[in-house]
Structure 1
Amino acid sequence: MMTGIEFWGLDLGVMAFLIVGAAVAGFIDALCGGGGLISIPVLLTAGFSPAQAIAANKLQGAVGALASTHYYAGKGVLDKRRLWALLPPALLGGGLGTLAIQFVGNRFMSYALPVMLILMAAYFAFSKQIKDEPRTAKMGVAAFSFTVVPLIGFYDGFFGPGAGTFYLAAVTMLLGMSLTAGMAYSRVLNLASNLVSLAIFIYLGKMVWLAGILMTVGEVAGVYLGSHLVYKNGAKLVKPLVVVACVAMALKYLFWGN
């Protein structure tokens, strides 16, 4: 991976490794969420500390989610009134979660996360309600925005891996969205909680800008390709990939830690 050629203090081989790894993560993020399973280990392997890796991943994730949001907005999938109801609680939850981690740590989440991911994988694998047609909502948008959204936003700021997949499951199960629409809204909500978390990491001085920018370049490329595949293929592509991503993340945290 090392070439001996450096730019701005970073080896050229490491730079290429970061971009390619982020492109793969962005592709997975756009398809089913869970790109952090790839991007954070990539940053750690490149020699960055856990705090630096999380901060760079927040920049990468925020810009990637913005790119995905831009794509779906152009397809007319998103409703502005619904977004105005859902976004503020996601911002609030993400901010509170990021602040909380500074005081209490999040090690225990490594043990709770695999259980949540396995349950989600089972739901996506066996539920007959996961499809590309909207269904009757089980909750109103107002109730959903004041309960479920800030909880997932808090988790995203506090820990992060799989947050996009949790958003996807929530909007399809509780708001009755089709899987394609759910993917679009999950990316916007992920953007909101990522942005506020990113702002806090920058304020605390934990951002490694060059690594974050390189990861962002790869992320955007992967996200646009993945978003296009989701829009064209819908549930037949997303459903199995969500199951695979959830199981992979669960196994990673069970056997290799975070």
Structure 2
Amino acid sequence: MLELTWVTVLILIISGVIVGFINTLAGGGTVISISVFMFLGLPPLVANGTNRVPIVFQNLASAYLYHKKKMVDWKKGFQLSIPIIFGNIVGAIFADYLPSKYFSYIFAGVVVLFGLSLLFDPKRWLKENPTLQHKPTPALHYLIYFIMGFYAGFVHVGVGYFYIGALVLLGGYDLMKANVMKILFVLFSVPFGLSVYAIQGNVHWEYGLIHAIGNVIGAYIGVHYAVKKGGTFVRYIILALVLIVVLQMLDVITTESIVKLLSSGK
């Protein structure tokens, strides 16, 4: 049993606030959570499973806050989440057997393309297409959502970028509405993947629940700023996060070094 000290609690809550804010506005905060859990002594697979606990609470809080502002389409969100749920379960089952490095390469490529599109074609992301939104969802789109769900169940890191990209480019949503729908995708699907990790004994509930406290606070802050500032603000935040991801891929910065720096107080 890992020792739980006040320093550990502080690290989990503070990092949770940052992760909740990032994930509510875009995605990619998961890499911070997993790095923090591993820094505190959890094996990679357990860190990956434990990460699902705060994600559930964070997206529950975000969905509730957006619902209060009448910005949530629960019916459509659940409909599109069905293939993601199945993908999540399959991905979580196979997490023990497949090399994650291949998914890292895919994620890196998608994030870079995503960032370039946001930078050079912003109007496409800020203007919705109601015609596309109300068309029946093609079978191919459901397959794409299943594949994204598989990735989410397996790694989850940065899956928010995949969801937002698909919702804007395939579904006709603007960036703001896509971000809200993304939260529903995660809320509906992650509990199933979490159940698989829990059954396998790969969840540290104490760390996960404490980290969730920070996640909920971060989600509250993120929703407040997203609603107040609108899609343009979300776009700038995502661009900044994409830049950080690229710097991480180039080994200019690492999440582990940031965690160590914060925990040392230097």
What is the TM-score of this pair, normalised by structure 1? 0.89
Check conservation: 1:28, 1:226, Cα contact below 8 A. yes
Check conservation: 1:68, 1:187, Cα contact below 8 A. yes
Runs of 4+ in 1 over 3 A off after TM superposition: 132-136, 142-145
Match for residue 111 of structure 2 among 104, 113, 117: 117
> Which residue of structure 2 lines up, in the alignment, with residue 92 of structure 1?
86
Give me the whole-angstrom Cα distance separating, in 2, the residues matched to 1:241 and 1:140: 31
Is the deviation greater in 154-163 or in 104-113? 104-113
Check conservation: 1:26, 1:218, Cα contact below 8 A. yes
Give me the whole-angstrom Cα distance separating, in 1, the residues matched to 2:66 and 2:175: 13
> Which residue of structure 2 lines up, in the alignment, with residue 77 of structure 1?
71
Check conservation: 2:28, 2:159, Cα contact below 8 A. yes
Check conservation: 1:113, 1:253, Cα contact below 8 A. no
Count of aligned pairs = 252
> Which residue of structure 1 lines up, in the alignment, with residue 261 of structure 2?
none
Give me the whole-angstrom Cα distance separating, in 2, the residues matched to 1:228 and 1:167: 21
> Which residue of structure 2 lines up, in the alignment, with residue 3 of structure 1?
none
How far apart are residue 210 of structure 1 and its match? 0.9
Structure 1 residue runs without a partner (length 5+): 1-7
Give me the whole-angstrom Cα distance separating, in 2, the residues matched to 1:197 and 1:13: 29
Amino acid across the alignment from 2:205: W
**Structure 1 residues 39-188: aligned runs within 5 Å:** 39-127=33-121, 128-131=123-126, 133-137=128-132, 140-143=136-139, 146-188=142-184
Identity %: 26
Give me the whole-angstrom Cα distance separating, in 1, the residues matched to 2:194 and 2:226: 26
Structure 2 residue runs without a partner (length 5+): 257-266
Amino acid across the alignment from 1:168: I
Deviations along 1:79-99, whole A, 9 cap, x unmatched?
233123212111101111111
Give me the whole-angstrom Cα distance separating, in 2, the residues matched to 1:257 and 1:60: 18
Check conservation: 1:114, 1:254, Cα contact below 8 A. no
- Counterparts in 2 of 1:257 and 1:106: CA distance versus 1, 3 Å: farther
Q: Is 1:17 matched up with 2:19?
A: no
Match of 1:141, SS state, is: coil
Give me the whole-angstrom Cα distance separating, in 1, the residues matched to 2:188 and 2:245: 23
Match of 2:203, SS state, is: coil
Match for residue 211 of structure 1 among 183, 195, 207: 207
* Cα root mean square deviation, aligned: 2.2
> Which residue of structure 2 lines up, in the alignment, with residue 5 of structure 1?
none
Match for residue 197 of structure 1 among 193, 217, 233: 193
Give me the whole-angstrom Cα distance separating, in 2, the residues matched to 1:188 and 1:57: 17
Q: Is 1:238 matched up with 2:234?
A: yes
Is the deviation greater in 94-103 or in 205-214? 94-103
Check conservation: 1:22, 1:219, Cα contact below 8 A. yes
Check conservation: 1:58, 1:198, Cα contact below 8 A. yes
Match of 2:173, SS state, is: coil
- Counterparts in 2 of 1:101 and 1:107: CA distance versus 1, 3 Å: same
Give me the whole-angstrom Cα distance separating, in 2, the residues matched to 1:111 and 1:20: 29
What is the TM-score of this pair, normalised by structure 2? 0.87
Match of 1:130, SS state, is: helix
Amino acid across the alignment from 1:23: V
Deviations along 1:225-258, whole A, 9 cap, x unmatched?
1012112212111111112222322332442599
Give me the whole-angstrom Cα distance separating, in 2, the residues matched to 1:243 and 1:90: 25
Check conservation: 2:74, 2:184, Cα contact below 8 A. no
Check conservation: 1:121, 1:244, Cα contact below 8 A. no
How far apart are residue 163 of structure 1 and its match? 0.4
Check conservation: 2:48, 2:155, Cα contact below 8 A. no
